[in-house]
Amino acid sequence: MKEVMLELATYNFWANKKITDSILLLSDEKQRQELPSSFKSIFQTTFHIWDAESIWWQRMKLSERIIIPSENQEGKMSDVVNGLLQQSQQWQDWVATASDIALGHVVQYHNSKKEYFKQPVFQILTHVFNHGTYHRGQLVNIFRQLRVEKIPQTDFIVFSRNRKKSVL
């Protein structure tokens, strides 16, 4: 299980880095332009990915009070990108040193609706990494609506192929 979780954590960081590198090349106007999507702009979508990774991290660490990044700063896109990448790196570092017992540990938490849940860490990790994939797909859609021509490929298979080449 650990090997799979570490590969997903490494992929999550890689994919977030690829998409955010492209985001930082865009003008502030394009980053904040509102378009049809779950979150109305690249800025809001990127902030949401960071918020979610941070919230789940805090839940896993049993924080008594959850701090949501978007509620505590207005932020420039570079600040949001740095926060997201730091959080993604934190996940990757944690998984790299986690034991199988830690990955199976059951965490108790309340969601944003104050509903109570218990789930093992590996399920939380799987959710966090899938959630990022989902919203990176939305970012690609927003890029297309903005007529961005150079859109990075962040598919897991692209990541896997690139890692395989670097190992050979």
Residues 70-103 have pLDDT tens digits of 997 777 999 999 999 999 999 999 999 999 999 9
Taking every pair of Cα atoms in the chain, the longest distance, rounded to a whole number of angstroms, is: 49
CATH number of the domain within which 72 lies: 1.20.120.450
> Nearest Cα to 49, choosing from 113, 130, 117, 108?
130
* Amino acid occupying residue 144: R
- CB 36, CB 45: distance < 8 Å: no
Q: Indicate the range of 60-74, 105-119, 128-142 predicted with least confidence.
A: 60-74
Question: Phi/psi of residue 130, each to 5°?
Answer: -70, -40
| Mean pLDDT, range 126-149, rounded to an integer | 96
Task: Classify residue 153 by its DSSP letter.
Answer: -
> How far apart are alpha carbons 90 and 81 in whole angstroms?
14
Q: Report whether pLDDT(167) > 60.
A: no
Domain of 33? 2-167
Global pTM value: 0.93
Per the structure, the count of domains in the chain is: 1
Structure-token pair, residue 39: 């979150």
Q: How confident is the model at residue 168 (pLDDT cuts 50, 70, 90)?
A: very low
